[in-house]
Chains A and B, each alone.
Chain A
Amino acid sequence: MFEDLIYVLGKYDTWLWRGFLLTMELLVISVTFGTLLAIPLAVARVSKKVWVQALPFAFIYVFRGTPLIGQLFMMYYGVGQLISNIDGIQDHWSWTYLRNPYWYCLLTFVLNTSAYVAEIMRGGIQNVPSGELEAARACGMTPWTTYRRIIFPRMWQMIWPAYTNDVVFTLKATSLASTVTMMELTGAARKIVARTALPYEAFISAGVVYLIIVYVLTFGFKGVERYLRRNERRKDKQPVGPKTASI
């Protein structure tokens, strides 16, 4: 058993390494752009005007209510087919990009991540204490300033644990890229299995790499959480007046 593991790791280490790099690339781009897109979505979603919140509501509902693999196939095969039906597109310079699964994967992951993140951001924004919003209004802050200085810092503080979960979720979602022939970590493992017929060795190696990524991510995000909650730490260090008085 161990000979097989060493054989797989020794012979196919470059595949796994490239798979790891592609997985990280997909993850970082999806999370970055997904989050950027989620902010306007969430802000529109909490609007009191029905016509402003209807569109983000529908977007979030559809993307959270359907499987990611379906969204991916819909993009890659469905939209891909519609594009390829355009006259003369196959001779156009953009065709090399338009038939590359990489861009369809990225687009799907970005949209999917943005829907999930927008939903947790909505919860965060709605849970900002109303007293703080009233105080901001009383200080004469414009809505934009209120968002920048009060709501967003508060929101990040509150949603960070859920956001961490979502990043891990996106990491696991990138494995679906292997179903449209991308050679990320899962894709590399599948190709090794196809070559060697050693499913345990290949899949478990890939699984261990995923676990390491999750572990490192969670560790880093815990550190950021401490930074986001630095105001609470400062409060703890203040001398506790009432406690001593009660003795």
Chain B
Amino acid sequence: MLDLYGRGWQMLEGGLVTVQLCLTVLPFMIIIGLLGASAKLSRYRSLRIIGESYTVLIRGIPELLVILLIYFGGTIAVQNIAEMISGEETRVDIPAFWSGVAALALVQGAFASEVFRAAMQSIPVGQIEAATACGMTPKQIFLRIKLPQLWRFALPGLNNLFQVLIKDTALISVVGVEEIMRKAAIGAGTDKAPFTFYLVAMLMFLSFTTVSLVAFNYLEKRAARGIARA
């Protein structure tokens, strides 16, 4: 039972790919989220409109559809661009892994921008005014006042997003990336034991989300260590 018809290692490899996916998406998600949040809080109306419509669009469209669109559509787009540059017929294949990363970063970035926007707005105005009075430039204010506190305000939201991200990586199995769900599907198909393989896959996901939950709770406690006394 435990060696899963000799596929226990395969499942662990799948688990490794899932972890890789999560950790690759994470930095992109944070960068897109910060950019999106700054756009939404920008002085310029055009930037605000772009930021808002980005979240409205992404929030209303299923993740699966975004993944499929980027996987099938992205290949054609890159191919067209490559043909335009080289001037001859070229065949390009975007690895499924990276199209999945792009899709998830796009989706999670939209939600992250909401989290960061709320976090930026929870920073007391008095602190910004004090920083301006001290003669700090906007860049200094961002780096010294906003960013360190952003972390603490954004952590609960990021905790939630990371849970969603772990679960969303399972969708990338649809375009053939060999993460947990895909490996389980292969095992389920060839060894005619879907119940066992999907059960193992679910347990693996459950342990990942649990670890993430515990880690984030620790970080939240740590980030609030200066505040808890009050």
Partners in one complex: yes
Chain A residues packing against B (C-beta within 8 Å): 62, 64-71, 73-74, 77-82, 168, 171-176, 178-179, 186, 189-190, 193, 199-200, 203-204, 206-207, 210-211, 213-215
Total number of B residues with any Cβ neighbor in A under 8 Å: 39
B73-A68 in contact (CB<8A): no
A179-B174 in contact (CB<8A): yes
Q: Which 4 A-B pairs have the closest CB atoms?
A: A67-B170, A175-B62, A199-B72, A214-B60
Extra A-B contacts (8), CB below 8 Å, given A186-B64, A200-B73, A213-B60: A67-B167, A70-B184, A71-B202, A168-B59, A174-B62, A178-B64, A193-B72, A199-B72
Instruction: Across the interface, name the chain A residue whose C-beta is closest to B180.
Output: A70
A69-B171 in contact (CB<8A): yes
The answer to whether residues A66 and B64 also contact, given A73-B194, A77-B188, A204-B69 and a CB cut-off of 8 A, is no
The answer to whether residues A77 and B65 also contact, given A66-B206, A67-B171, A199-B72 and a CB cut-off of 8 A, is no
CA distance A41 to B225 in the complex (A): 35
A83 CB, nearest partner CB in chain B, Å:
10
Give 26 CB contacts A-B under 8 Å.
A62-B202, A65-B209, A67-B167, A70-B201, A73-B184, A73-B185, A73-B198, A78-B199, A79-B195, A80-B194, A81-B193, A81-B194, A81-B195, A82-B195, A172-B61, A174-B62, A175-B62, A175-B64, A176-B62, A189-B68, A199-B69, A203-B65, A203-B68, A210-B60, A211-B57, A214-B59
B75 CB, nearest partner CB in chain A, Å:
9
Task: Identify which of residues 38-71 in chain B touch chain A, using a CB-to-CB cut-off of 8 Å.
Answer: 56-57, 59-65, 68-69
Q: Taking the complex as formed, is B108 at the interface, i.e. its CB lies under 8 A from any CB of chain A?
A: no
Residues of B within 8 A of A80 (CB): 194
B4 CB, nearest partner CB in chain A, Å:
14
CA distance A84 to B176 in the complex (A): 27
Q: Taking the complex as formed, is B210 at the interface, i.e. its CB lies under 8 A from any CB of chain A?
A: yes
Chain A proximity mask over B164-175: 1 for CB below 8 Å, otherwise 0: 001111110110
